[in-house]
Amino acid sequence: MGLEVQGGGDSDDPAIADDDRLYRRLSDSSPNMIAVDVLTGARRPSSGAFKPDDDGVSVYRESLLQRDSLEAVDVVRAPQNLVVALPVGAVRSIRPLGVRDDPWPTGIPDEDHPRNAAHALIKGWNGLSTGERRRRQRALAALPSIEFIYP
Amino acid sequence: MTQLLDRPIATGATLYPQAGRDRVERQDAEDFYLQPGPSAPKRQIFIQLSAAQGNLRWLADHVQNEVNAMLALGDGWDGHRAKPITEEAVGSTIGLVFALCDDLSLPPQFFPLPDGGVQIEWHVGGEAMEVEIDRSGDAHGLATDRAGAVIFDSSLEPTAIETLLPVQTIVRRLSIRAASGR
């Protein structure tokens, strides 16, 4: 990618395997978070769907969901939700992004839902300029390995 | 209850001065039964064009529909900690769209951002122009070519036309590509 920025030491947990996947909940209407190429018809998440909040980008780890007998459908909260999966290794290839677990986040709807034991964050955004941050959001949205897994 | 924003929020866009009563719709009924007490007022805009902008009514209608859908989003609309879209972001977004588009332009796609901002995007044949407007109304443009290489990356000032010219050029090129189907 050529996106090289020195990362902070706490932005990645190396114990999380590269071949684990991260589930990101999106919406395809009200609000729409899927961009469409008007010429090719290709659909992909808007890069805005990966804009971090103060903590990072909220995701769920596939291996932890499976440990608790949960799947992609358990991540959705509304009928218009969809779920995309990103391999951890592909996220890490967009330096300095990394992944850390963030189980049982507070101040969110359905705090007690069992999916929240698998909650994690894409981190590494601190210190990036607006342009650097947006290039990484764009790189996440354009990952060839991103997969629509629900519905 | 519907609350119309009661002042102009962008150059070239003025709003109905009086609040009107919305039709009672199914969502209102569900809110009444599921959430006791007064529900939060809905926010809506109406874009009024000058006579010289009469040929842009289609664009105004598109922007109005997209913006009003985003203004209806409440706290936590992403199922996490997303904030409602701000009036500052809406004002800058409308100003930018009318500065960047003309009557032959491909209209942008609209996306809410979790911080209360808005993102507008054009995607044509693998090329992309994306403008992020944050919750305070500050804008930043990012464009990539078919190979994914960044060809534009800069802050934008909605009222400073010189910062917008490169983006206007890209939007015009993408619009021509979309119209020609190549």
B126-159: pLDDT as tens digits: 999 999 999 999 999 999 999 999 999 999 987 8
The pTM (predicted TM-score) of the whole model is: 0.84
Write b or e for each residue in B54-84: b if 16 or more Cβ atoms lie within 10 A of its Cβ, otherwise e: eebeebbebbbebbbbbbbbeebbbbbbbbb
- Probe site for chain A from B67, B111, B132, B150 (most A CB atoms < 10 A): B111
Rounded to the nearest integer, the mean pLDDT of chain B is 83
Tokens of A138: 């764009």
DSSP codes of every residue in B100-157: H--TTSPPPEEEE-TTS-EEEEEEETTEEEEEEE-TTS-EEEEEE-TTS-EEEEEEE-
* Residue B141, domain extent: 2-180
Predicted pLDDT at B181: 84
Query: What residue has token string 């936590």?
Result: B76
**pLDDT above 90: residue B26:** no
Residues from chain B that touch A105, judged by Cβ atoms under 8 A, are: 80
Q: What's the CA gap between B58 and A131, in Å, rounded?
A: 32
Predicted pLDDT at B25: 55
CA–CA distance from B3 to each of A68, B68, B118 (Å)? 45, 11, 20
Residues from chain B that touch A107, judged by Cβ atoms under 8 A, are: 81
Residues from chain B that touch A42, judged by Cβ atoms under 8 A, are: 123
As a dihedral over the C-alpha atoms of residue A38, residue A134, residue A121, residue A107, rounded to 10 degrees, the angle is: -90
**pLDDT above 90: residue B34:** no
**pLDDT above 70: residue B9:** no
A43-58: pLDDT as tens digits: 999 999 999 988 999 9
Q: What's the CA gap between B27 and B38, in Å, rounded?
A: 14
- The C-alpha R_g of chain B, in whole angstroms, comes to 18
Establish if A10 belongs to a structural domain: no
Would you call B132 an interface residue with chain A, using a CB distance cutoff of 8 Å? Answer: yes
Establish if A11 belongs to a structural domain: no
Tokens of B109: 């796609």
Contact across the interface for A77 and B79, Cβ inside 8 Å = yes
B67-91: pLDDT as tens digits: 999 999 988 888 888 999 999 999 9
Would you call B78 an interface residue with chain A, using a CB distance cutoff of 8 Å? Answer: yes
- This model of the complex carries an ipTM of 0.88
**pLDDT above 60: residue B8:** no
* pLDDT over 90 percentage in chain A: 79
Establish if A70 belongs to a structural domain: yes
**pLDDT above 80: residue A30:** no
Predicted pLDDT at B57: 92
Phi, psi (rounded to 5 degrees) for A23: -95, 130
Q: How many CB pairs under 8 A join A and B?
A: 100
Number of domains chain B is built from: 1
* Residue A47, domain extent: 21-150
Establish if A15 belongs to a structural domain: no
Which of these, B51, B47, B75, B42, lies nearest to B60 by C-alpha position? B47
Residues from chain A that touch B144, judged by Cβ atoms under 8 A, are: 138
DSSP codes of every residue in A42-95: -EEE-GGGG---SS-EEEEEHHHHHHTT--GGGT--STTEEEEEEEHHHHHTST
Which of these, B8, B179, B2, lies nearest to B91 by C-alpha position? B8
Question: In the structure, what pLDDT confidence band is assigned to residue A1 with cuts at 50, 70 and 90?
Answer: very low
Question: In the structure, what pLDDT confidence band is assigned to residue B10 with cuts at 50, 70 and 90?
Answer: low
Which candidate from A39, A58, A142 shows the least CB-CB separation from B124?
A39
Distance from CA of A85 to the nearest CA of B (A): 17
Predicted pLDDT at B20: 41
Question: In the structure, what pLDDT confidence band is assigned to residue B35 with cuts at 50, 70 and 90?
Answer: very low
Which of these, A1, A30, A15, A2, lies nearest to A98 by C-alpha position? A15
Number of domains chain A is built from: 1
Q: List B residues 2-41 in contact with A (Cβ-Cβ < 8 A).
A: none
Rounded to the nearest integer, the mean pLDDT of chain A is 91
